[in-house]
Structure 1
Amino acid sequence: MEPRTPPRSPAHPSTLHLTIDAMHCGACTGRVERALRDQDGVHSAAANLMARTVHVTYTAPASPHALLEALETAGYPAATLKTRYVIDGLGDAAQDNIIAQIGAIAGVIEVVQSHDTDESKGDSLSSPPNGAALTLTYAQGMTSPRELTRALNDILKDQGGLVAVAQGSQSPPPSPALRQQAEAAQLARDMAIASVLTLPVFVLAMGAHMIPAFHHWIMATMGERTSWVIQMGLTALVLIGPGRVFLRKGLPALLRGAPEMNSLVALGSLAAFGYSACVTILPDAFPIVSRGVYFEAAAMIVTLILLGRWMEARAKGQAGEAIAKLVELTPQTAQVERPSGVITLPVDDLVAGDIVHLAAGERVCLDGVIIDGDSWIDEAMLTGEPLPQRKTVGDQVTGGTLNGASAISFRVTATGAQTVLARIIAMVESAQGAKLPVQALVDRVTRVFVPTVIMLSLATFAIWLALGAQLAPALIAAISVMIIACPCAMGLATPVSILMGTGRAAQKGLLFRRGDALQRLSNVSTIAFDKTGTLTIGHPQITDCIGEPADITSALRLAAAAESRSEHPLARAIVDRARQSLTDAQGATGDAGAALPRARKVEALAGMGLRAQVEGKTVVIGNRRALEAENIAPRFIEDAERLAQAGKTPVWIAVEGEVLALLGLADPIKPEAREAVQRLQDAGITVTILSGDLQASAEAVAREIGLKDTDRNVIGGVLPEGKAAAITALKERGIVAFVGDGLNDAPALAQADIGIAIGTGTDIAIEAAEVVLMRGDPRGVADALALSKATMRNIRQNLFWAFAYNAALIPVAMGAFTPLGLHGISPMLAAGAMAFSSVFVVTNALRLRAA
């Protein structure tokens, strides 16, 4: 059986996305990353503690096989899956070429051609007479069985239409949420078993110490020695049963010279059990004052830490609910149009171009474009917007959104990892696994913390003996130091808060593309807004109509006829308003544009407006210079000046040489803009507006939304290419965030310390910035700022608790305060305190669900 892995081109870095179930804390992720980075050819390795994954980028001489070996050696094996395929009709001449192409499929680690037979199962694993049997090993989490089968058959299409038939289950691996649930369930079982076994030990040991009558009863019935033997047997079952996880992981890590939290638990529990077992079996070998057993300490250490891990796993599951809920939004099957009719197919089998029929009340399975019908779509999961959006033919629909009361049909435009929902999930998972700058300090501490604790434990033992203490109390003090100082809380302090913060943000339609954006956004001092499309609607609308009502109606109708073929934004505003007026007047339900007359001899007046013949009448639409050019006496002069001062564009409509109406056009301010700016200014943020409009127009908008110091914080007349330079100048004031629509603001978004794309949730917006607001509400900026500050505050609280806890309790466990009359901490209490610290950190992070 020869593995054949195709060579990788050094010019094109390869990537692996591996699942590693053995990671339990920040120290674990550090070891995983170091093990991979130490391999020649590895460019980067980023471990995600909450998703239990690591993303590796590498070139030769690194290879998937070498990376897997490095992880195995480090004690953190990657999770892989295997699928076997039979390809009938594949000749020997084509096998090498096919195997090379298969090995290049994303996620495939190894391709093995089988030549043997498994008699025990009665299944022939040998190659078919005229074909090949291949076993593919692939990275769990990087691809799925269905995607693998599809890619494999795409390759075989060029080999005469060969087909690969998968043998065995084609079910995808469990999702991170399901793995988390399974882990919590296993911990619950282990904790329950440990509790049942530990309870008699605790009663026999502590009951005899605390209740003299109970001690006398034991001595009079079973005797002390028999009591010890019973405790030893039950404790041994605890250690080799529920506690084996600590021994299986902790002792090999200790032997590798890389001790971790499991090593501390294993050493502490084995030391207490070993000493007690020796006293039980060979009591005469110990002085009378040292003939004490501590089986309850060894058993309680395991039980309490399992309790803490179970509570921690449950809390992590709650923290990851945001991603789990997003994943659950996509239906598993869909009604798909085929030549034979509409059939039900798994969503994984759909491809771009398929026609899907969606019933009322169903969820959209994939991204697409509506080709028939119209309905109201609830996009709250995508944008956080509670109100459904009207969708009709030609509109985009997004997988995971909820259809309303009407049936529609749509053409699939994106599948798999290319859908908006999949990209959002990947984005949030990436942010949740990111390491903030503050985490660097934690990583440095936890890297040396466990070896330091072991040295402190040994020093405690030696010092107690040197001061004349008996063996038993010296050992107990050393064990207490070892147990109480587990760095679990330190390792969890930052990632669990990031997990909760970014998950909560996703629920509110706020996407942090990188976790470090959380920290940097919390430190901004200036937030600059692009005006058009960000603080305003983004296209002009008629805000004022001045003149007699009958004249206004007639003028709009004629002007709209003249402007109906123009694509100018102002022309669009006039046509839309005229059609709306006609619809209202006629009570029509259809397209009122049919009521517009036809315009002839349409002539653009450069820089001034438009002239046309409509129903035999000369119609002039434009500014004051247009009226002067046509020798038309202007009207409403004072009104026009008032409109201009308010930042609006005055447009006159004249018919047959007489002005009938004056229109005020402006890009309306979003209703939420004033509240957004007010909240940011109340938070101490300097808000600035960048606009391509004239300074006076930009300042008018600033005054309307309540911006402070408009003369200093409004920069008008800035072209798109000049916004980046404006951001550079603003950086002299401090850390700057820029908020744009993600379309023509890319240079400014890149130049800012934090780029925030606001609005549509389209491809461009998703890729444009570090923070994406999936709806056009500028209040999302204030929400993102508040959430980033709350997350960083939560992280600081967690780090303070974790460091202060160890700094305070390690000296107590060592017995430093014994001369003052204060007792040390027993191993049992140390285990409880250590478990409580981790649970406290995770529970504190859960408070972000209400942020």
Structure 2
Amino acid sequence: MSDPQAKLSEEEMKTYRVQGFTCTNCAGIFENNVKKLPGVQDAKVNFGASKVMVKGNTTIEELEKAGAFENLKVRDEKEQKLEREPFWKQKENIKVYISALLLVISWVLGKQYGEEHLIPTIGYAASILIGGYSLFITGLKNLSRLKFDMNTLMTIAIIGAAIIGEWGEGATVVILFAISEALERYSMDKARQSIESLMDIAPKEALIRRGQEEMMIHVDDIQVGDIMIVKPGQKLAMDGLVIKGTSTLNQAAITGESVPVTKTIDDEVFAGTLNEEGLLEVQVTKRVEDTTISKIIHLVEEAQAERAPSQAFVDKFAKYYTPAIVILALFIAVLPPLFGGDWSEWIYQGLAVLVVGCPCALVVSTPVAVVTAIGNAARNGVLIKGGIHLEEAGALKAIAFDKTGTLTKGVPAVTDVVTYGGNEHEWMKITAAIEKGSQHPLASAIMRKAEADGSDFNRVVVEDFQSITGKGVKAMVEGVTYYVGSPKLFEELHGNIESSRTETISKMQTEGKTVMVLGTDKEILSLIAVADEMRESSKAVISRLNNMGIQTVMLTGDNQRTAEAIGKQVGVSDIKADLLPEDKLNFIKELRGKHQSVAMVGDGVNDAPALAASSVGVAMGGAGTDTALETADIALMSDDLSKLPYTIKLSRKALTIIKQNITFSLAIKLVALVLVMPGWLTLWIAIFADMGATLLVTLNSLRLLRVKE
């Protein structure tokens, strides 16, 4: 909730879930009704997530009364979702069946007795009343307050049709409008299901051990520190740390990664992930409302309440458009007859303009697309925190990447070992034994390499260990003094280094590697090259982004030589090295001046200023860090860049669909209005134009569910 008005104090707010919203307009009416309830100080409806937040005291019964105009069902946020009746059995739809049946009978009787006869007219009137009862109540209330919305326009049109004797067409309009509303409800529910499916990911109960006792407990009653027992094939109900066992977990529900991840003691695990093979004991670290999956659901639902820029445009447009349509319809109905036209014919045309002018399709054009896209992204491990960020990502022209931990793994590894005489295994063992006492960040890479080679360097006795500041270390092993350090250290020791060895060192350094040397004061025994390893996906991701016409820039604090080596390897179009955090920030501002829409991709901790300055901040590895979830506009839940091209593809598609929807909604209205001139616009055509536009716009938006990586 980023608009200031929405910052209702979280502590005093009570959230309820609502079932049955069909349109943003109805959500607005419901919000106003709730605000008027006794004891309620404020209320805010989130249409996309189907929620209402209430400040003050009220009951579910009172809230359902406030939503009676649309038969809304309300439940507490924590309650399980109500089993929805099948679409065809819903009460609102049964009225449509009865109304349609009466219409058909009246039409048959009209053919028999003539359209003007009292019997078919009574049939049509009954059909209008049954099918349009709730529509009329809302419409007449709005009319008395001079509030013009969809219901008001339809009420005037249907009553007008009855007055001029077009009972059959009035009844048809009621039924077609009711069908349109039902289908709109159905498709909106479809769009929301992508979020509801997230809520069902984590189990509602877990097997907990307290003391010596094991019991099934509801997640609301599980405490931090409880031990959760997870059997193979079960899903985890809570976040925690593994304290016993090893297993592979499928984390697709949280991170979108389809490849299972091995988890063992002290590893972090998340609610909603599936334990595939081993028995795990997990110490619970968060309460149910703080788990990663709860945060994802909360952020996604809040994202849907955020208005996309095109939504703000549509809302503003609809505010002036609806009264304008009413005035236009009035002119069409009144002016031509004053100059000799037939009153009945032109009133009919005016009524048809009212129907075609309904802003249904236009109003629904953006929210359905935004809800669908954000839901699809969340199911694929990408958190987009609002319609505005979805639209911004679709317009991106440049993306800046932090190097360490984003394009690279952020963990140094040994890439090359060159030995001069002697045994590589032996020299590695001695180097690792000496480096064990060092504080240097590259020491851990050498020890990992020695471990991987199966070398038992812990048994090597190291004596007289000494650190040589900024250059390396020296120590004695089995009576021999060895040095481990930079090539500079050996230049000082030996005076100069043999040219063939200098060439090898230079070649490795040009490749962006750091070279460490093992030797004595007489000779060089081994060269070890260490580098921060490239992520497997980086090259392919950068290549895809370059093909999408996006400028890719790598930002790093590393020296120019290392940066260029890695930049070339990964294929970025621009490289900026030797940067401090404030330099990154300034560079992002410079890029924005050039391109306007610029994203920054980082790990969300040290890149926070640059993430905030970019038009879209993208954080990686959101599943483990709260900082990433909070600072970024988009969080990739897995530690994998491959979701980035998918996010941009989805955002571009959403932008295209929103533009198509708005253009189509307005174009179909224009075409229908042009038909007024020759007097061809009928109520039938008008309602089909309105209903068809709404349906097509909604179905077009649902195509976003099919966007895959």
1:196 to 96, 101, 104: 101
Q: CA deviation at 1:527?
A: 1.2
SS in structure 2 at match of 1:438 = helix
Tell me the secondary structure at the aligned position of residue 386 of structure 2.
Answer: coil
Report what 1:824 is aligned to: 681
Give yes or no for the alignment of 1:766 onto 2:629: yes
Tell me the amino acid that sits aligned with residue 609 of structure 2: P
Q: Aligned partner of 2:606: which letter?
A: N
Find the partner of 1:719 among 580, 585, 593. 580
Residue of structure 1 in register with 2:510 after alignment: 645
Q: Among residues 112, 128, 145, which one is paired with 1:239 in the alignment?
A: 128
CA distance in 2 between partners of 1:593 and 1:797 (Å): 66
Specify which of 511, 516, 528 is matched with residue 663 of structure 1.
Answer: 528
Range with greater deviation from structure 2 (839-848 or 764-773):
764-773
CA deviation digits over 1:393-413, x for unaligned, max 9?
Answer: 111111111111111111111
Give 3-state SS (helix, strand or coil) of 2:423's partner: helix
The equivalent position to 2:691 in structure 1, one of 822, 835, 841, is 835
Q: 1:259-658 maps to which residues of 2 (within 5 A)?
A: 259-276=148-165, 294-339=166-211, 341-547=213-419, 551-582=423-454, 596-631=459-494, 634=497, 636-654=501-519, 657-658=522-523
Higher RCO, Cα 8 Å, sep 6+: 2
8 Å CA contact retained: 1:673, 1:778: yes
Aligned residue in 2 for 1:743? 605
Give the conservation status (yes or no) of the 8 Å contact 2:653–2:704: yes
The Cα shift of 1:490 comes to 0.6
Q: Structure 2 vs 1, CA of residues 53 and 321 (structure 1 numbering), >3 Å: closer, same or farther?
A: closer
Q: Counterpart in 1 of 2:3? A: none
Deviations 1:702-760 (A, max 9, x none): 1111223xxxx321111234322222232221222111111211111112221111235
After TM superposition, give the deviation of residue 602 of structure 1 in Å: 2.5
Q: Deviations 1:125-153 (Å, cap 9, x if unpaired)?
A: xxxxxxxxxxxxxxx55x54xxxxxxxxx
Moved more, 688-697 or 558-567: 558-567
User: Which amino acid counterpart does residue 831 of structure 1 have in structure 2?
Assistant: I
* Alpha-carbon spacing, 1:608–1:798, altered in 2? closer, same or farther (3 Å): same
Which ranges in structure 2 are unaligned for 5 or more consecutive residues? 1-7
Aligned to 1:845: 701
- 2:139 is matched with which residue: 237, 245, 250? 250
Distance 1:244 1:12, change over 3 A: closer
Structure 2 residue aligned with 1:134 = none
| 1:603, distance to aligned residue in structure 2 (A) | 2.0
How far apart, CA to CA, are the structure 1 residues paired with 2:221 and 2:194?
26
SS at match of 2:102: helix
Give, in whole Å, the separation in 2 of the partners of 1:64 and 1:445.
36
The answer on whether the counterparts of 2:361 and 2:693 sit within 8 Å (CA) in structure 1 is yes
736-745 vs 791-800, which moves further: 736-745
2:377–2:647 CA contact under 8 A, matched in 1: yes
Residue 527 of structure 2 aligns to a residue in which SS? strand
114, 120, 135: which one aligns with 1:224? 114
Residue 418 of structure 1 aligns to which amino acid in structure 2? D
Matched, 1:174 2:31: no
State whether residues 551 and 661 of structure 1, in contact with CA within 8 Å, keep that contact through their aligned partners in structure 2. no
CA shift, 1:47, in A, is: 4.4
Q: Pick which of 70-79 and 674-683 moved more.
A: 70-79
> Does the aligned pair in 2 maintain the 1:19–1:78 contact within 8 Å?
no
Counterparts in 2 of 1:73 and 1:428: CA distance versus 1, 3 Å: closer
Check 1:566–1:195 CA distance in 2 against 1; reply closer, same or farther (3 A cut): farther
> CA, structure 1 residues 365+173, in 2 after alignment: closer, same or farther (shift >3 Å)?
closer
Distance 2:151 2:349 in 1: 19
The answer to whether the 8 A contact 1:617-1:656 is kept is no
**Cα offset for 1:73?**
9.3
Counterpart contact for 1:759–1:774, Cα < 8 Å:
yes
RMSD of equivalent CA atoms: 3.3
1:759/1:777 contact within 8 Å kept: yes
Matched-pair contact (CA < 8 Å) for 1:381–1:401: yes
Deviation at 1:790, TM superposition (A): 1.1
**Aligned counterpart, 1:48:** 46
Deviation at 1:549, TM superposition (A): 9.3
Change in CA separation of 1:76 and 1:625 when aligned onto 2, cut-off 3 Å = farther
Partners of 1:303 and 1:420 lie apart in 2 by 46
Per-residue CA distance 1:625-673 (angstroms, 9 max, x = gap): 2224444874622111001111111111225854222111111111221
CA distance in 2, matches of 1:457, 1:770: 45
The superposition leaves residues 431-454 of structure 1 with CA deviations (integer Å, 9 ceiling, x where unpaired) of: 222211122221112113333322
Say which is worse superposed, 474-483 or 410-419, in terms of deviation. 474-483
Post-superposition offset of 1:64: 6.2
Query: Corresponding residue for 1:730?
Result: 591
CA–CA separation in structure 2 for the residues paired with 1:630 and 1:720: 37
Q: Structure 2: how far apart are the matches of 1:608 and 1:845? A: 61
2:4 corresponds to: none
Measure, in 1, the Cα distance between the counterparts of 2:175 and 2:444: 72
Distance apart, 1:173 and its partner CA: 6.1
2 CA distance for matches of 1:828 and 1:72?
A: 34
The Cα of 1:616 is off from its aligned counterpart by: 4.0
* Partner SS, residue 611 of structure 1: strand
Query: How big is the shift at 1:331?
Result: 0.9
Following superposition, the deviation at residue 466 of structure 1 comes to 2.5
For the pair shown, the structure with the greater C-alpha radius of gyration is: 1
376-385 or 248-257: bigger deviation: 248-257
Moved more, 258-267 or 325-334: 258-267
Aligned to 2:5: none
CA offset digits 1:653-699 (Å, max 9, x no partner): 22585422211111111122122222222222221111010012111
Paired residue total: 693
**Residue identity in the other structure for 1:846:** L
2:557 pairs with one of 683, 692, 699:
692
Alignment check: 8 A CA contact 1:551 1:660 kept:
no
Cα deviation, residue 498, structure 1: 0.5
Q: How far is the alpha carbon of 1:477 from its aligned partner?
A: 1.8
Distance 1:598 1:228 in 2: 112
Any idea what the Cα deviations from partners look like across 1:363-422, whole Å, max 9, x if unmatched? 111111111111100011111111000001111111111111111111111223211101
Name the aligned partner's letter for residue 686 of structure 1: Q
Q: State the AA in 2 paired with 1:724.
A: L
Deviations 1:217-267 (A, max 9, x none): x2xxxx337x84443343344333342221232222222222321222222
CA change 1:36–1:331 in 2 (3 A) is closer
Which residue in 2 is equivalent to 1:103? none
1:740-819 mapped onto 2 (5 Å cutoff): 740-762=602-624, 763-812=626-675, 815-818=676-679
The CA deviation at 1:556 is 1.2
* Distance verdict in 2 for CA 1:246–1:33, change over 3 Å: closer
> CA 1:346 to 1:74, structure 2 compared with 1: closer, same or farther past 3 Å?
closer
SS in 2 for 1:807: helix
Q: TM-score, normalised to structure 1's length?
A: 0.75
* CA pair 13-352 structure 1, distance change in 2 beyond 3 A: closer
Which residue type is aligned with residue 788 of structure 1? S
Is 2:623–2:637's contact at 8 Å kept on the other side of the alignment? yes
CA distance in 1: counterparts of 2:142 and 2:151, whole angstroms: 8
Q: Distance in 2 between matches of 1:204 and 1:701?
A: 82
